[in-house]
Chain A
């Protein structure tokens, strides 16, 4: 076989998959439509260099963790924790505001800002004196280390109800999380007025921050639900793996590409033209520099998954489990070249990667920035492992990106092995720009 373009990795697949049936139809693992070409497809390609090896996307790479003094810059036009390389540990807290007035809501955001500014910068907590309990929990020792901490604050649709007079400032697409056809949502573990995404290099830094913030804000907000997560290190390299054993996040746009981030992540105030059947809307003035922050708590039925053959697993995903390469390629970052496999000979028509990103004209508009964490929450009442994915995605436009992709995924074979049970749609606030600025200052201006 010959290759005009050394970056092209799937040139031979069409000649080697003729025994496979056509597009796999319908959901469910019992399709038996085995597209066996994957292995044959890579013959002879082993000497090719991984495509774009130097352009690995930032969130796919876990952050260094050996430096407790590592501080992620807090101030800026956009918040940290979005383009920030994935820290190892995370806590997701959805909160409901119990503050009774707009003034108290502002006080809450100011307090939150002060705490996060201190926690992400580090330092010695001021003494409370002998007449009060200690100011700090001491979990990080006498001097609080930043530990790569980021706290990303986002607002949910319910904050814009009649309590605070913010109804006319709601981001245009923001609403309670949709129930998709394959969801099994527990509404007590969905939505919330606020979301705090707390990420750090070490779990004690996350725990310390959660405890500090909760203490400082107890009267003004209460935790609605919480899910903790962790990012696996690259095994052995490339994008971290999820708990199905597959690399997750390979197709992310590069956070080093400002144009991509502008088109994919950051929302802009003003008119949004009608596109892909969505109505034109106007984003409120304060939203520039924010982003639609989607969190989905997805349990993986890992015992069941482990009883499925590797071949079937790979067909459902559309990638190799060991390398992360598309079934049509050799290396993780290879282009799947779906256009050369239009009938799903190799990558099934309902494979996850094909549905999520068809790589067809216009499908660039579907891209989002994923920042996923794995979760491990013990066992359920029957002793089955409760583990899965905290799916996290940042979107310029909730409907054009996340929701459109989620609709495309309806009924994919993978749904038999996962159970989305919670999460929410939020809007990540624009950044805190300087020492005299605070979260939501423009929302509440």
Chain B
């Protein structure tokens, strides 16, 4: 059995990117179980001994428990505050500094101190302009506890800007976005399924020139689905796995899917050698399509997918790891741009309603897309390896710009509990 640890390790790592704890009850139980014994040692309240003073000397040591949430902070002057929160409860706690809004579900959050164990403390810095704020203490399965309203007065010191606040996006908020994205995926799976049948038909009648063309069409559609980002598990590997370490797609006889078909088609192998591969591809895509409705997209994944499909482009495509004999790596990157747009568009109404300006993200994606289209000569793509140094640097810079900006989308779209 060839070693396929390369790609799957890669995918495993990305799956575990988010701290599982955020508002998630099962993980919370584990966290409190582990840390329970510590509360006796670390005592109740007070700032941790190693808390760093904020540069302007604005420091608050606050309690974060069910009954004393926010005690210890009575507000003060505008500027950069160091907030040290000590969890005085017996369970894990998340502490938020937010606007003191009349409707706390619309309050902006300025500082999150997450997953503080019982008796534990955590601190952070936040620059607050004049206004009314409060500490909110959030435990799983409990209503958020609102701390007292405090006032921050005066103007921010010159040269400082207030920490940008965010209005949380909740799991419930994400439901329509996920539905929107799922229907997009379903439609593209239907398209993919037609396209791999066309590919298989080409091979069946021995028209390998048409097969090479239709291979690219189908592979590009697959690339828009975020399949590289382990959306589809084992079926994803069967459909688009890379050859095992130490082998090529031509020498790895256990390899199936697009990469194997590509190797055979571009090596001039007879249709009879290609057919079993394309037939299996049709079957695997059909299985993926029929299984998709039950394998729903996790709301947490939506923002991550908007960000990380192009992280894959950096690590897998632009690194050359996915270069195949068709020389269409840049077409894969372009498919990733399209695939990024789908979850981004699904999130767009939520972000827009919260005043998030996506124009810099849109500009970066449009610039990259335009550059990539320049390498598409009526279906014949410039091989990645043919790029000049200047072309490669420009492409790298444009993809880098996209992932830097999309990282913010992932952070914003991370589901949070309403306060």
Q: A interface vs B, CB < 8 Å?
A: 96, 98, 123-124, 126-133, 142-143, 188, 215, 218-222, 224
Contact status B160-A130, CB under 8 Å? no
Residue of A nearest to B162 (CB): A129
Residues of chain B with a CB closer than 8 A to A130's CB: 109-112, 165-166, 411
List the B side residues contacting A143 at CB < 8 Å.
52
Give the docked Cα–Cα distance between A355 and B165 (Å): 65
Interface residues of B in 112-141 (CB under 8 A from A): 112, 124-127
Of B232-240, B272-280, B391-399, the one touching chain A: B391-399
- Report the minimum CB–CB distance from B395 to chain A (whole Å): 9
* In contact, B80 and A124 (Cβ under 8 angstroms): yes
14 contacts between A and B (CB under 8 A): A96-B389, A98-B393, A98-B394, A98-B396, A126-B80, A127-B80, A129-B110, A129-B111, A132-B407, A142-B52, A142-B125, A215-B404, A218-B397, A218-B401
Contact A133–B393 (Cβ < 8 Å): no
Which residues in A have their C-beta under 8 angstroms from that of B356? 131
Instruction: Tell me how far the C-beta of B195 lies from the nearest C-beta in chain A, rounded to whole angstroms.
Output: 34
B54 touches A127 (CB 8 A): no
* Structural contact, B165 and A129, CB atoms closer than 8 A: yes
> Which of B110, B127, B397 has most A Cβ within 10 Å?
B397
Q: Please judge, given known A-B contacts A132-B411, A218-B400, A224-B389, whether A127 and B126 are in contact too, CB under 8 Å.
A: yes
Q: Are B55 and A132 in contact (CB under 8 A)?
A: no
Are B164 and A126 touching (Cβ within 8 A)? no
Interface assignment of B12: CB less than 8 Å from any CB of chain A: no
Binding site for A on B (CB under 8 A): 52, 54-55, 80, 109-112, 124-127, 160-161, 163-166, 356, 364, 389-390, 393-394, 396-398, 400-401, 404, 407-408, 411-412
Contacts of B364 in A (CB 8 A): 219
Q: Nearest-CB distance from B189 to chain A (Å)?
A: 32
Q: Give the nearest-CB partner of A187 in chain B.
A: B389
Contacts of A128 in B (CB 8 A): 163-164
Contact status B124-A133, CB under 8 Å: no
Given contacts A128-B164, A142-B125, 6 further A-B contacts (CB under 8 A): A98-B393, A129-B163, A219-B398, A219-B400, A222-B397, A224-B393
Separation in Å of the B116 CB from the closest CB of chain A?
15
Determine if B407 and A133 form an interchain contact, defined as CB atoms under 8 angstroms apart: yes
Question: Could you tell me the distance in whole angstroms from the C-beta of A222 to the nearest C-beta in chain B?
Answer: 4
Q: Specify which chain A residues have a CB less than 8 angstroms from the CB of B401 in the assembled complex.
A: 218-219
Contact A123 to B55, CB < 8 A, known contacts A130-B112, A218-B400:
yes
List, in ascending order, chain B residues with CB within 8 A of A142's CB.
52, 125
Q: Tell me the complex Cα distance, A127–B54, Å.
A: 12
Q: Is the CB of A219 within 8 A of B397?
A: yes
Please determine whether B124 and A127 come into contact, CB atoms closer than 8 angstroms. Answer: yes
B127 touches A126 (CB 8 A): yes
The residue among A221, A222, A224 with the most chain B CB atoms within 10 A of its own CB is A222
Q: Which A residues are CB-close (under 8 A) to B408? A: 131-133
Taking CB atoms, residues of chain A closer than 8 Å to B55 are: 123-124
Q: Is the CB of B404 within 8 A of A124?
A: no
CB-contact partner of B404 in A123, A219, A224, under 8 A: A219
- Complexed CA–CA distance, A224 and B408 (Å): 27
A143 CA / B80 CA spacing, docked (Å): 14
With A130-B109, A130-B112, A132-B408 in contact, is A222–B164 under 8 Å at CB? Answer: no
Within the complex, the shortest CB–CB distance from A192 to chain B, in Å, comes to: 10
| A143 vs B125: C-alpha distance when bound (angstroms) | 11
Residues of B within 8 A of A126 (CB): 80, 127, 160-161, 163
Q: Return the chain A residue nearest B125 by Cβ.
A: A127
Question: What residues on A are CB-neighbors of B109 within 8 Å?
Answer: 130
Which one of B52, B127, B165, B390 lies within 8 Å of A96 (CB-CB)?
B390
Residue from A124, A130, A132 having most chain B Cβ neighbours under 10 A: A130
Q: How far is the CA of A224 from the CA of B389 in the complex (A)?
A: 9
Q: Select A222's contact among B393, B407, B411, beta carbons within 8 Å.
A: B393
Using CB atoms, name the residue of chain B closest to A96: B393
| Cα-based distance from A218 to B396 in the complex (angstroms) | 9
Q: A133–B407 Cα gap in the complex (Å)?
A: 7
Looking across the interface, which residue of chain A has its beta carbon closest to that of B393? Answer: A222
Give the nearest-CB partner of B114 in chain A.
Answer: A130
Q: What's the minimum C-beta distance from A169 to chain B, rounded to whole angstroms? A: 21
**Contact status A127-B400, CB under 8 Å:** no
Complex alpha-carbon distance, A219 and B127, angstroms: 28
Residue in A closest to B81 when the chains form the complex, CB atoms: A127
CA–CA, A123 and B56, complex, Å: 12
Chain B residue at minimal CB-CB distance from A435: B159
Instruction: Report B-chain residues with C-beta under 8 Å of the C-beta of A220.
Output: 397
Q: Chain B contacts of A221 at CB under 8 A? A: 397
Chain B residues positioned under 8 Å from A98 (CB to CB): 393-394, 396-398
Q: Which residue of chain A lies nearest to B408 when distances are taken between CB atoms in the complex?
A: A132
A129 contacts B54, CB within 8 Å?
Answer: no
Residues of B within 8 A of A127 (CB): 80, 111, 124-127, 163
**In the bound complex, CA of A101 to CA of B254 (Å):** 50
Are A188 and B393 interface neighbours, CB within 8 A?
no
Q: Taking the nearest CB of chain B, how far is it from the CB of A438, in angstroms?
A: 17
Which 3 pairs show the lowest CB-CB distances between chains A and B?
A219-B401, A98-B397, A131-B166
B54, A124: Cβ atoms under 8 Å? yes
**A218-B404 CB under 8 A given contacts A126-B127, A129-B165, A130-B112:** yes
Residues of chain A within 8 A (CB-CB) of B125 are 124, 127, 142
CA distance A379 to B398 in the complex (A): 33
User: Can you name the residue of chain B whose Cβ is closest to the Cβ of A216?
Assistant: B404
A131 touches B393 (CB 8 A): no
CB-CB < 8 A to A188: which residues of B? 389
Residue from A123, A129, A131, A142 whose CB has the most chain B CB atoms within 10 Å: A131
CA of A130 to CA of B389 in the docked complex: distance in angstroms?
A: 38
For B407, the closest partner residue in chain A by CB is: A133
Which residue of B has the minimal Cβ distance to A131?
B166
Interfacial chain A residues near B52, Cβ < 8 Å: 142-143
C-alpha spacing A221/B163, complex, angstroms:
28
Q: How far is the CA of A135 from the CA of B390 in the complex (A)?
A: 29
- Nearest-neighbour CB distance to chain A for B359, whole angstroms, equals 15
Taking a contact as CB atoms under 8 Å apart, the answer to whether A133 and B411 are in contact is yes
| Set of chain A residues within 8 Å of B124, measured between Cβ atoms | 127
**Residues in chain A near residue B160, CB distance under 8 A:** 126
B160's closest neighbor in chain A, by CB? A126
A132 to B163 CA separation, bound complex (whole angstroms): 11
The residue that A131 contacts in the complex, of B126, B398, B412, with Cβ under 8 A, is B412
Q: Give Cα distance in the complex from A188 to B392, angstroms.
A: 13
Give Cα distance in the complex from A367 to B398, angstroms: 43
Q: For residue A222, which residues in chain B have a CB less than 8 angstroms away from its CB? A: 393, 396-397, 400
Interface centre among A96, A129, A220 (most CB of B within 10 A): A129
CB distance from B23 to the nearest CB of A (A): 13
Residue in B closest to A127 when the chains form the complex, CB atoms:
B163
Hey, which chain B residues are within 8 Å of A132, CB to CB? 164, 407-408, 411-412
Q: Which residues of B lie under 8 Å from residue A96 when comparing CB positions?
A: 389-390, 393
Most buried by B among A96, A98, A123, A142: A98
Bound: A188/B124 CA distance, A: 44
In the complex, which residues of chain A have a beta carbon less than 8 angstroms from the beta carbon of B112?
Answer: 130
**Distance, CA A185 to CA B396, complexed state (A):** 25
Q: How far is the CA of A436 from the CA of B401 in the complex (A)?
A: 27
| Contact across chains for A129 and B404 when beta carbons are under 8 A apart | no
A133: chain B residues at CB < 8 Å are: 407-408, 411
